[in-house]
Homo-oligomer: A and B are copies of this chain.
Amino acid sequence: MLYPPSLIDLIEALRRLPGVGPKSAQRMAFHLLEKDREAAGGLAQALQRAVQSVGRCQRCRMFADAQLCPICSSSSRDPSTLCIVESPADVAAIEQSGSYRGCYFVLMGHLSPLDGIGPQQLGFEQLESLFAEGVVQEAILATNTTVEGEATAHVIAEIAVRHRIKPSRIAHGVPVGGELEYVDGGTLAHALAGRQSLG
Protein backbone atom coordinates (compact mmCIF):
# COMPACT_ATOMS: atom_id res chain seq x y z
CA MET A 1 0.00 0.00 0.00
CA LEU A 2 1.62 3.15 -1.26
CA TYR A 3 -0.52 5.90 0.28
CA PRO A 4 -1.31 6.21 4.01
CA PRO A 5 -4.79 4.79 4.88
CA SER A 6 -6.17 8.21 5.81
CA LEU A 7 -5.17 9.55 2.38
CA ILE A 8 -6.88 6.61 0.66
CA ASP A 9 -10.01 7.27 2.78
CA LEU A 10 -9.96 10.92 1.73
CA ILE A 11 -9.70 10.02 -1.97
CA GLU A 12 -12.61 7.59 -1.56
CA ALA A 13 -14.74 10.20 0.24
CA LEU A 14 -14.07 12.80 -2.49
CA ARG A 15 -15.13 10.28 -5.16
CA ARG A 16 -18.67 10.33 -3.76
CA LEU A 17 -19.07 13.93 -4.91
CA PRO A 18 -21.06 14.14 -8.17
CA GLY A 19 -18.86 14.40 -11.28
CA VAL A 20 -15.66 13.40 -9.47
CA GLY A 21 -13.80 10.34 -10.77
CA PRO A 22 -10.73 8.57 -9.33
CA LYS A 23 -8.19 10.87 -11.02
CA SER A 24 -9.94 14.11 -9.99
CA ALA A 25 -10.42 12.80 -6.44
CA GLN A 26 -6.68 12.08 -6.21
CA ARG A 27 -5.83 15.51 -7.60
CA MET A 28 -8.17 17.18 -5.09
CA ALA A 29 -6.72 15.23 -2.15
CA PHE A 30 -3.13 16.03 -3.20
CA HIS A 31 -3.96 19.68 -3.71
CA LEU A 32 -5.56 19.97 -0.27
CA LEU A 33 -2.70 18.19 1.51
CA GLU A 34 0.17 19.76 -0.45
CA LYS A 35 -0.98 23.31 -0.94
CA ASP A 36 -4.12 24.19 0.96
CA ARG A 37 -4.54 22.43 4.32
CA GLU A 38 -6.46 25.46 5.53
CA ALA A 39 -9.08 24.87 2.79
CA ALA A 40 -9.33 21.22 3.86
CA GLY A 41 -10.08 22.23 7.44
CA GLY A 42 -12.54 24.87 6.25
CA LEU A 43 -14.35 22.39 4.02
CA ALA A 44 -14.61 19.86 6.86
CA GLN A 45 -16.17 22.50 9.12
CA ALA A 46 -18.49 23.83 6.41
CA LEU A 47 -19.73 20.28 5.69
CA GLN A 48 -20.45 19.56 9.34
CA ARG A 49 -22.20 22.88 9.91
CA ALA A 50 -24.31 22.55 6.74
CA VAL A 51 -25.38 18.98 7.58
CA GLN A 52 -26.36 20.11 11.08
CA SER A 53 -28.16 23.34 10.27
CA VAL A 54 -29.58 23.13 6.74
CA GLY A 55 -33.06 21.63 6.60
CA ARG A 56 -36.10 22.21 4.44
CA CYS A 57 -38.66 25.00 4.55
CA GLN A 58 -41.84 23.46 5.96
CA ARG A 59 -43.95 25.26 3.37
CA CYS A 60 -42.02 25.13 0.08
CA ARG A 61 -39.31 22.47 0.73
CA MET A 62 -36.54 24.97 -0.20
CA PHE A 63 -33.25 24.62 1.73
CA ALA A 64 -33.61 26.68 4.92
CA ASP A 65 -32.07 26.93 8.37
CA ALA A 66 -35.37 27.90 10.01
CA GLN A 67 -38.92 26.50 9.82
CA LEU A 68 -39.70 28.82 6.92
CA CYS A 69 -37.35 30.02 4.17
CA PRO A 70 -36.81 33.79 3.64
CA ILE A 71 -39.29 33.82 0.72
CA CYS A 72 -42.14 32.01 2.52
CA SER A 73 -41.70 34.19 5.63
CA SER A 74 -41.57 37.45 3.65
CA SER A 75 -44.67 39.65 3.73
CA SER A 76 -43.80 41.28 0.40
CA ARG A 77 -44.35 38.11 -1.65
CA ASP A 78 -47.66 37.22 -3.23
CA PRO A 79 -48.81 33.84 -1.84
CA SER A 80 -51.62 33.51 -4.42
CA THR A 81 -49.10 32.53 -7.14
CA LEU A 82 -47.08 29.37 -6.65
CA CYS A 83 -44.19 28.50 -8.97
CA ILE A 84 -43.38 24.79 -8.90
CA VAL A 85 -39.75 23.92 -9.75
CA GLU A 86 -37.53 20.85 -9.67
CA SER A 87 -34.57 22.14 -7.66
CA PRO A 88 -33.33 24.96 -5.38
CA ALA A 89 -31.05 26.08 -8.25
CA ASP A 90 -34.19 26.81 -10.31
CA VAL A 91 -35.48 29.07 -7.52
CA ALA A 92 -32.14 30.91 -7.58
CA ALA A 93 -32.32 31.30 -11.39
CA ILE A 94 -35.88 32.69 -11.32
CA GLU A 95 -35.05 35.02 -8.41
CA GLN A 96 -32.03 36.35 -10.33
CA SER A 97 -34.30 37.28 -13.25
CA GLY A 98 -36.08 39.63 -10.83
CA SER A 99 -39.38 39.07 -12.66
CA TYR A 100 -41.36 37.04 -10.13
CA ARG A 101 -42.91 38.10 -6.81
CA GLY A 102 -44.89 34.98 -5.93
CA CYS A 103 -43.93 31.97 -3.82
CA TYR A 104 -42.32 28.64 -4.76
CA PHE A 105 -42.66 24.93 -4.23
CA VAL A 106 -39.49 22.87 -4.69
CA LEU A 107 -40.07 19.25 -5.73
CA MET A 108 -36.38 18.26 -5.33
CA GLY A 109 -36.54 16.11 -8.45
CA HIS A 110 -39.10 14.83 -10.97
CA LEU A 111 -41.29 11.75 -11.22
CA SER A 112 -39.04 8.84 -12.13
CA PRO A 113 -40.62 5.52 -11.10
CA LEU A 114 -37.59 3.48 -12.23
CA ASP A 115 -35.40 5.37 -9.72
CA GLY A 116 -38.02 4.97 -7.00
CA ILE A 117 -39.01 8.65 -7.12
CA GLY A 118 -42.77 8.92 -6.86
CA PRO A 119 -45.33 11.42 -5.50
CA GLN A 120 -44.19 10.76 -1.93
CA GLN A 121 -40.53 11.70 -2.57
CA LEU A 122 -41.58 14.91 -4.35
CA GLY A 123 -43.84 16.06 -1.51
CA PHE A 124 -47.14 15.90 -3.43
CA GLU A 125 -49.00 15.44 -0.12
CA GLN A 126 -47.48 18.69 1.19
CA LEU A 127 -48.35 20.40 -2.11
CA GLU A 128 -51.97 19.24 -1.88
CA SER A 129 -52.35 20.57 1.66
CA LEU A 130 -50.90 23.88 0.41
CA PHE A 131 -53.48 23.90 -2.41
CA ALA A 132 -56.22 23.00 0.10
CA GLU A 133 -55.51 26.15 2.16
CA GLY A 134 -57.37 28.13 -0.52
CA VAL A 135 -54.75 30.90 -0.84
CA VAL A 136 -53.07 29.75 -4.05
CA GLN A 137 -54.95 30.80 -7.20
CA GLU A 138 -52.42 29.98 -9.91
CA ALA A 139 -49.84 27.19 -10.05
CA ILE A 140 -47.02 27.98 -12.53
CA LEU A 141 -45.40 24.72 -13.59
CA ALA A 142 -41.71 25.43 -14.22
CA THR A 143 -40.33 21.88 -14.31
CA ASN A 144 -37.72 21.12 -16.98
CA THR A 145 -38.71 20.40 -20.61
CA THR A 146 -37.63 16.76 -20.35
CA VAL A 147 -39.95 13.77 -20.64
CA GLU A 148 -39.92 13.39 -16.83
CA GLY A 149 -40.36 17.12 -16.25
CA GLU A 150 -43.34 17.26 -18.61
CA ALA A 151 -44.93 14.19 -16.98
CA THR A 152 -44.46 15.72 -13.54
CA ALA A 153 -46.02 19.00 -14.71
CA HIS A 154 -48.96 17.10 -16.19
CA VAL A 155 -49.69 15.21 -12.95
CA ILE A 156 -49.44 18.37 -10.83
CA ALA A 157 -51.71 20.25 -13.26
CA GLU A 158 -54.39 17.60 -12.68
CA ILE A 159 -54.05 17.95 -8.91
CA ALA A 160 -54.34 21.76 -9.23
CA VAL A 161 -57.50 21.52 -11.35
CA ARG A 162 -59.01 19.21 -8.73
CA HIS A 163 -58.44 22.00 -6.16
CA ARG A 164 -59.90 24.61 -8.57
CA ILE A 165 -56.52 26.25 -8.99
CA LYS A 166 -55.48 27.49 -12.44
CA PRO A 167 -52.42 25.59 -13.68
CA SER A 168 -50.06 27.24 -16.18
CA ARG A 169 -46.82 26.19 -17.85
CA ILE A 170 -43.86 28.55 -18.42
CA ALA A 171 -43.38 29.38 -22.11
CA HIS A 172 -40.87 27.37 -24.12
CA GLY A 173 -39.45 28.97 -27.25
CA VAL A 174 -36.54 30.78 -28.83
CA PRO A 175 -34.23 32.26 -26.12
CA VAL A 176 -34.06 36.05 -26.03
CA GLY A 177 -31.06 37.12 -28.13
CA GLY A 178 -30.92 33.67 -29.75
CA GLU A 179 -30.55 33.37 -33.51
CA LEU A 180 -33.21 31.28 -35.21
CA GLU A 181 -30.75 29.38 -37.37
CA TYR A 182 -28.94 27.92 -34.33
CA VAL A 183 -32.03 26.92 -32.34
CA ASP A 184 -32.77 23.16 -32.21
CA GLY A 185 -35.85 21.68 -33.86
CA GLY A 186 -37.67 20.79 -30.64
CA THR A 187 -37.41 24.36 -29.35
CA LEU A 188 -38.57 25.77 -32.72
CA ALA A 189 -41.58 23.43 -32.71
CA HIS A 190 -42.45 24.69 -29.21
CA ALA A 191 -41.95 28.30 -30.32
CA LEU A 192 -44.29 27.86 -33.33
CA ALA A 193 -46.98 25.98 -31.41
CA GLY A 194 -46.90 28.61 -28.65
CA ARG A 195 -47.11 31.62 -31.00
CA GLN A 196 -49.05 34.60 -29.71
CA SER A 197 -51.39 36.82 -31.69
CA LEU A 198 -50.22 40.40 -32.23
CA GLY A 199 -53.44 41.61 -33.85
Contact = CB atoms under 8 A, between A and B. Distances in A.
A4 B41 CA distance: 21
Nearest to A5: B65
A64 B4 contact: yes
Given A10-B46, A16-B39, 12 more contacts: A2-B91, A4-B54, A5-B65, A6-B52, A13-B46, A16-B43, A18-B28, A19-B24, A33-B50, A41-B51, A43-B47, A44-B48
A27 interface: yes
B51 A9 contact: no
A9 B49 contact: yes
Contact of A50 (B17, B29, B36, B53): B29
Interface string A47-83: 1111111100000000111000011000000000000
A190 interface: no
Contacts of A13: 39, 42-43, 45-47
The binding surface of chain A is classed by DSSP as helix
Contacts of A30: 63, 87-89
Interface residues of A, number: 56
Given A7-B50, A50-B40, A2 B92 contact: yes
Given A51-B33, A88-B30, A6 B42 contact: no
A6 B9 CA distance: 25
A188 interface: no
A193 interface: no
